[in-house]
Chains A and B, each alone.
Chain A
Amino acid sequence: MDLSLTSEQRLLQDSVQKFISTQYSISERNNFIANDQGYDNSNWQQFADLGWLAMTFSEEFGGLGGSLVDSMIMLEEFGKGLVVEPFLSTVILFGAAVELAGSQEQKQAIIPAIIEGNLIGTFAYAEPVEPTNLSAVQTKATAEDSGFRLSGMKSLVFNAVSADKILLSARTSGGDFDADGISLFIVDPAANGLTRTDYATVDGLRASEINLEQVRVERDGLLGKTGTASKLIQGLANRGILGLAAEAIGAMEALYKSTIEYTKQRQQFDHPLADFQVLKHRMTEMFVEYNLVKSLCMKATMLETQGTADAQRNIHALKYLVGKTGRFISQNAVQLHGGMGMTEDLPIAHYFKRLLVIDAQFGNTDHHLNKFVG
């Protein structure tokens, strides 16, 4: 057993760290999120040029044949830098779905375009009724001629505003909450009958509510077979959870470290705050809890990569801990920064909000604790 990074992985980590430290200050980030799509196109092109978008795709389609671990390394650094570019939507969710379940033609048409930075994709899975239940799919896909007609609603679809393709779950058979009968479709956002309500999320990203009214999808827009997408959807949710966990861990590390720095400098009662035992212990707890999440994230990533039966249970435990510890660390980072922690000027507030949104995605703390205990 070897838990250390390979030299290639360390180089990857260094290159992301360098990008963030030189090009991603909080004020630069504020500029990136200020435009309508909520991120910067030239950053995305750099991701492509640096090979980051190619990392996990297979060599057959121009990728570098890396593993999920490589994505996790990048995402952890993205978390420290509060990176807003649509890596999770495009690579971890949409791109992976195409690679895992797409036809040869679909892969050829999509993966090289993603790698070159020319295609943004996203995954629309949640619906207004019971959004955390991946089987709660009321969007209907009716077979028609050689294709389908889709009608329904999708909620909190990140990056739909800039997406060239949207991967969408829809029901081809079965009842509204059945695991069977769900299919996946690749939809063109400009299709007739598809309307979006775009909005900013608390953490500065962009998401949309999507309404589908008799949206025509050709046969080649179907991803995989009809009615059997549940397992793939769960797999994508798991990848999403792992990716978000890596980001959260990066954010938590940044929070506990900047809290330590701040309390060493801030003087009250003629001492640095860091001299007070109660605050020392609080920061120690932040550090301890951070380490537990980091450990479980590594474990769950390995199990999921190996396809072990135990992986699902570990992923539930991980998302629970990400939510719980994310809250503990972000709340205490604000508390120990005092009034300064409440201002939008310091990065603290932005990490706080990112962790809040991460908890809300793919089921929150309570949801996964309940899944974990069964």
Chain B
Amino acid sequence: MNTEFSEDDLAFQKKVVDFIKANLPKGMEMWTKRNEWFQALKAQGGWDVPKWPVEFGGPGFTPTQRYIFDMEMARHATPPQIPFGVGMLAPILMNHGSKEQINRFMPGIRDGSVNWCQGYSEPGAGSDLANLKTKAELSEDGTYYLVNGQKIWTTLAHIAHWMFCLTRTSSSGAKQEGITFLLIPMDDPGIETRPIITLGGSHSVNEVYLTDVKVPVTNRIGEEGKGWTYAKGLLVHERTGLAGIQHSVLALEKAKANARTVKTGDGSLMDLPSFKNKVGALEAELLALEFTELRTLSQVSAGEGPGPESSILKLKGTEIQQRISELNIEAAGIYAAPWSGQPIGPDFARGATSSYLGGRATTIYGGASEVQKDVIAKNVLGLG
């Protein structure tokens, strides 16, 4: 066991930081120069797809390098990648896709020219995802599936070109069996997307209705009825990513800086013990969670995981994100009340409320906290 970075790791860290400082878009360019940023990452030798294996163009990071890379990217608030293509579908394609599918879909995923969305949840299949009912019937000639059903909470479906979708091809046997993984073009006339406006007032999730959508059999990933197995492997990885630990480290620093600007008695809000203790408690838990993430990564490098322990990261990581957003609400005080976007009160207060409201979803999506606890209880602790 060795908790120090090696000389090589430190050199790598410097390389990453130097790169970020030289290339990171500033201010509004974060949005307008996204492509340039990802191109520059790519030119470094696969830094745009840090988790991909070398044979698919990934950088071949060691687990420690990946940790350093992720940490520095988060620490410098670099433009986030939309996860559905690069992070979620690509690993499934690489492991279970045919050569034709890989050649067809991987380039668009890599260069960001094709937007993907994830068609998993349904009105009756939330925490109980395997209960999904969207039906895919194989045509008599065996060339296509006829898909009918409804998906919900589909993030960015309204700008997606394609959806990777879990469908039901058989109702016999256990619920987890008979699920088939299909790739469906969103411009099919049988697809209707309706927006859902959420608590933070924003539109990012949707309902997607599928009516007699014809999906060629060549758009099926792997075998019929094995979709659950393919998706499940990825859900573990999704949980790890959702913990957002480095973002929380950064967010907590910002929350402290915000609180220092709020006059309270003779000092600032940060001088108030009750507030300072909340900050301190979060800081201590984040230190511990950071190292828990490192332990999970070292299991991966030892070829073991990530196992159900990744639920620890999702469970605690999202809880901490929410508590940090509460600190900002508290620091905003009365200025938590004005609806966001209006130049009322201190600058930081403007986004504080919508972040707090929108952030309530983090303990619901990607497997609710109650489900994560069940996963740990059942699969780690052997409790039923």
Which B residues lie within 8 Å of A343 (CB)?
196-199
Whether B274 lies near A155 (C-beta < 8 A) is: no
What residues of chain B have their CB less than 8 Å away from a CB belonging to chain A?
121, 124, 126-128, 131, 152-153, 196-199, 201, 205, 263-265, 272, 274-275, 326, 329-330, 332-340, 342, 344-345, 353, 356-357, 360-361, 363-365, 368-370, 373
Among B128, B153, B339, B340: residue with most chain A CB under 10 A: B339
Whether B152 lies near A279 (C-beta < 8 A) is: no
Q: Cα distance A131–B332 when bound, in Å?
A: 10
Known A339-B152, A344-B197, A356-B329: A370·B272 in contact at CB below 8 Å: yes
Which A residues lie within 8 Å of B121 (CB)?
339
Among B128, B329, B340, B344: residue with most chain A CB under 10 A: B344
Interface residues of A in 330-351 (CB under 8 A from B): 331, 334-335, 338-339, 341-344, 349
Q: Cα distance A359–B327 when bound, in Å?
A: 13
Interface size on A, residues (CB 8 A): 46
23 contacts between A and B (CB under 8 A): A131-B334, A133-B265, A197-B344, A201-B339, A202-B336, A202-B338, A202-B339, A202-B353, A203-B337, A268-B126, A278-B370, A334-B199, A335-B364, A339-B152, A339-B153, A343-B196, A344-B198, A352-B357, A356-B336, A357-B336, A360-B329, A361-B337, A366-B275
Whether A209 lies near B334 (C-beta < 8 A) is: no
Summarize B's interface: helix, strand, loop or mixed. mixed
Whether A339 lies near B126 (C-beta < 8 A) is: yes
Which B residues lie within 8 Å of A335 (CB)?
360, 363-364, 368-369
Q: Cα distance A110–B126 when bound, in Å?
A: 56
Whether B361 lies near A342 (C-beta < 8 A) is: yes
Whether B338 lies near A156 (C-beta < 8 A) is: yes
Among A267, A268, A352: residue with most chain B CB under 10 A: A268
Q: Cα distance A74–B340 when bound, in Å?
A: 30
Which B residues lie within 8 Å of A338 (CB)?
126-127, 364, 368
Whether B124 lies near A267 (C-beta < 8 A) is: yes
Q: Is A126 an interface residue (CB 8 A)?
A: yes
Which B residues lie within 8 Å of A132 (CB)?
333-334
Whether B199 lies near A352 (C-beta < 8 A) is: yes
Q: Is A5 an interface residue (CB 8 A)?
A: no
Interface residues of A in 297-343 (CB under 8 A from B): 327, 331, 334-335, 338-339, 341-343
Q: Is A49 an interface residue (CB 8 A)?
A: no
Q: Cα distance A317–B152 when bound, in Å?
A: 42
Q: Report B220 CB to chain A, min CB distance, Å.
A: 27
Known A126-B334, A361-B334: A199·B339 in contact at CB below 8 Å: yes
Interchain residue pairs A-B with the least CB separation, the first 8: A268-B128, A201-B337, A360-B336, A342-B198, A156-B334, A131-B334, A344-B197, A269-B128
Interface residues of A in 169-214 (CB under 8 A from B): 197, 199-203, 207, 209
Q: Report A251 CB to chain B, min CB distance, Å.
A: 15
Which B residues lie within 8 Å of A279 (CB)?
370
Q: Cα distance A77–B380 when bound, in Å?
A: 47
Least CB separation from B125: chain A residue: A268
Which B residues lie within 8 Å of A344 (CB)?
197-199, 201
